[in-house]
Amino acid sequence: MVYEGTVPSIAHTLSFVVAFLREDDMRHSQICRRPPRIQGQWLAPAPNVIKLNFDAAFECQSMRSVSGAEVLACLVAVNFARDLGFTRVVIEGDSLTVIKKCQSENIDASLISPLIVDIKEVSKVFVSVSYGFVHREANGAAHVLAQEGKMYSSPMYWMEETPPNTTLAADKDRERL
């Protein structure tokens, strides 16, 4: 009524709700057919495999995102692994949408699709690559680093030494093993 200036009939409203629920059920059943690997705890990678956990943070006051989005953080992780010459990698993050799109063979029409295509293209250099979803609780160290990155105006990479609070978060992630 607010948008069109008319009052829809009860039958029209009911048919709209039923159609919406059917569409939602169909979408849910498609999602549930092939669930991604989901972990509630951080797991160490297999020998000779490098694991990279990604996360992104958003700065509300300045309305700027540290790495653009979770998908951009994933792309940065994949490029980082490639640039360092790693050949067997596991990429994990707490964005189910990004992980599912990286695992999917389909290309969709979403706004992040071009970045997913880039991730898949870069991933071709690896001997093996897998993408896994982990809950926020198992991605603590990556989350702390994303928050830490908000303090810098340019991208930051920590290789050997990390901020002290990151070490504490990594220890907590390992304690959950």
Nearest to 81 by CA among 115, 44, 119, 111: 119
Query: Which pLDDT value is given to residue 80?
Result: 93
Query: Which pLDDT value is given to residue 91?
Result: 94
pLDDT truncated to tens, each residue of the chain (177 aa)? 444 556 666 665 556 555 655 665 555 444 444 444 555 566 778 899 998 888 887 655 655 443 338 898 899 999 999 999 999 999 998 888 899 999 999 888 888 889 999 999 999 999 999 999 887 777 777 778 777 877 877 777 777 778 878 878 877 776 765
Query: Which pLDDT value is given to residue 62?
Result: 54
Residue type, 136: R
Taking only the tens place, the pLDDT of each residue in 12-52 is 555 655 565 566 555 544 444 444 455 556 677 889 999 88
Query: Which pLDDT value is given to residue 22?
Result: 62
Helical (H) or strand (E) element with 89: strand 88-93
Nearest to 169 by CA among 154, 148, 155: 148
Query: Which pLDDT value is given to residue 65?
Result: 47
Contacts of 55 by beta carbon, 8 Å cutoff, 6+ apart? 70, 73, 93, 94, 139, 142, 143, 145, 146
Query: Which pLDDT value is given to residue 40?
Result: 59
